[in-house]
Structure 1
Amino acid sequence: MTGERPFIGTSWKMNKTRAEAAAFCDTLRASPLAACTEAQLFVIPPFTALAAVADALAETAVIVGAQNAHWADAGAWTGEISPLQVKDAGGTLVEIGHSERRTFFNETDETVALKAEAAIRHGLTPLICIGDTKEEYEAGRTADALRRQTEAALSRIDRQTDTPVLFAYEPVWSIGEGGTPADPGFADEQQAMVKAIITERIGRPLPVLYGGSVNPDNCVVLAKQPNIDGLFIGRSAWDAGGYLGIVRQVLDAIS
């Protein structure tokens, strides 16, 4: 990180009942880190808990987001959630293009671009996930994969937009149970490349977070890399104490 306020957040994926979400929020709200200004904390619950989590954290400095949003404002899209509905539920950020959405739910570079455009249209901050598969990584095609996904995601974003836009590099081979954490130096090289592509395409830099088996043992060394602007944490942050512990470690290391 290069002195800017880092983003440190977690997506709960398909986890937590409303009661479990409330307990997480109670612990987070009781911590001094709920008012943290040295980092931008964010939490992305499932849709079933989005409104409740947004309400519970409304008086804190924590951003609350959704795990997906459609590109249409309304319509016959059974099972989908629109950007307007995300806003109505209290979300201000929306995660787009996670590898699980791309792999299992037919998310494409084109739909990622449409969703990013829709999020910005409604004043939501898109958090656009990009990543290389194990096959691409082993074949030395990481750079090609990240360039394709980054350029596609930016294809509908106006160079003049002042809505915040975030990216997260999440190697597909590093995500989930059994994932292999990326070497911090390798991750930093990819982040630098993605930042260069972003600046080349829209004329300004955007924050690029790292996600992929982030845990208490590697969070500090990752956070200290010059081109990593924050951490997007999975299962290590599903417990509020674990999340707060990582935030505290990172803040202590970079202060």
Structure 2
Amino acid sequence: MLSGRAPARWIGTSFKMTKTRAEAVAFARTLREALGPDGVPGVRPFVLPPATALAEVAAALGPGSPVLAGAQNAHWEDAGPWTGEISVPQAADAGARIVEIGHSERRAHFGETDATVRLKVASALRHGLIPLVCCGEEAGVHARGDSAAHVLAQVAAALDGVEDATRVLIAYEPVWAIGERGREPHPGEIADVVAALRDAHGSRVGGILYGGSVTERNAAALLGVDGVDGLFVGRAAWRIEGFLALLATAASARVTAS
């Protein structure tokens, strides 16, 4: 159970639509062997494989693993005629302990809206999973200086009706910074939005993560932004060596901060 601001740094990755079952399981097994049963002190890792590999990745990590396995998406209904979807109970049955909700790619290509994000958050909480709520602004919004207002509106909609948000994680991922064509941000470019999220929700949610063009080189600086409780990483964490390096950076950053 999360309680207020997370005491540990969160470091996680979504494999998106990459990795076969064998590749995802090999990653999980190597991670389990590298971290052992106790993991990295002060760091909470999570991995979101494709749905085809979720159950096998969760099994490879093992029961009681310090690494959370999770789903990249889930429907808000528990069951029904929703061809091609998986429900939160089904994700949990496959071993998920966390579920990503509202990624900008889901919004742009699959019709995800603030309303469906809210429904999915409610479903995840109802079934005991950690909702990882993604938010972020397009380049035009950023250029106009409206980033904080845009992101706060997304998060307010996602948490509408949620009385206890201590299990919710917020992942701030500016759309202009994510993906192969994303632009690496300067820490100062994200500081105002993170500060706004911290002021509005920091005492209420389990943590505020940053994602978007995160690399081994800039991870420490991004973790150093006041209010950032962890990183949600893409390509830099898809190789086990990169993921382990990011975990080490987070552990070092936490020691330095304390």
Separation in structure 2 between the aligned mates of residue 226 and residue 195 of structure 1, nearest angstrom: 9
Identity fraction in percent: 47
The answer for the alignment partner of 1:157 in structure 2 is 162
CA contact (8 A) 2:43 2:250 kept: no
Q: How does 1:93-132 map to 2 (within 5 A)?
A: 93-132=98-137
Separation in structure 1 between the aligned mates of residue 45 and residue 183 of structure 2, nearest angstrom: 25
The answer for the alignment partner of 2:239 in structure 1 is 239
The answer for the alignment partner of 2:209 in structure 1 is 209
Tell me which stretches of 4 or more aligned residues in structure 1 moved more than 3 Å. none
CA contact (8 A) 1:10 1:233 kept: yes
Give how far 1:163 is off.
5.6
The answer for the alignment partner of 1:42 in structure 2 is 46
CA contact (8 A) 1:114 1:156 kept: no
The answer for the alignment partner of 1:4 in structure 2 is 7
Give how far 1:36 is off.
2.1
163 and 227 in structure 1: CA distance in 2 versus 1, 3 angstrom threshold:
closer
The answer for the alignment partner of 1:218 in structure 2 is 218
Equivalent of 1:170 in 170, 173, 188:
173
3 and 195 in structure 1: CA distance in 2 versus 1, 3 angstrom threshold:
closer
Give how far 1:69 is off.
0.7
Classify the secondary structure of the residue corresponding to 2:7: coil
The answer for the alignment partner of 1:70 in structure 2 is 75
CA contact (8 A) 1:37 1:61 kept: no
CA contact (8 A) 1:33 1:244 kept: no
Separation in structure 2 between the aligned mates of residue 71 and residue 254 of structure 1, nearest angstrom: 35
* TM-score of the aligned structures, taking structure 1 as reference length: 0.93
CA contact (8 A) 1:224 1:254 kept: no
The answer for the alignment partner of 1:28 in structure 2 is 31
Equivalent of 1:54 in 58, 68, 80:
58
Give how far 1:249 is off.
2.1
AA matched with 1:39: V
Alignment length, in residue pairs?
Answer: 249
Give how far 1:139 is off.
1.6
Q: Deviations over 1:11-58 (max 9, x none)?
A: 000000011011111211121366223100000001000000011112
- Farther off after superposition, 110-119 or 241-250: 241-250
AA matched with 1:7: W
Q: Deviations over 1:185-211 (max 9, x none)?
A: 222221110122226xxx734411000
- Farther off after superposition, 55-64 or 11-20: 55-64
Q: Deviations over 1:97-129 (max 9, x none)?
A: 000000110100000000000100000100000
223 and 162 in structure 1: CA distance in 2 versus 1, 3 angstrom threshold:
closer
Classify the secondary structure of the residue corresponding to 1:81: coil
Give ranges in structure 1 of 5+ residues lacking alignment.
none
CA contact (8 A) 2:55 2:94 kept: yes
Classify the secondary structure of the residue corresponding to 1:43: strand
* TM-score of the aligned structures, taking structure 2 as reference length: 0.92
CA contact (8 A) 2:117 2:158 kept: yes
CA contact (8 A) 2:40 2:251 kept: no
- Farther off after superposition, 136-145 or 103-112: 136-145
Classify the secondary structure of the residue corresponding to 1:31: helix
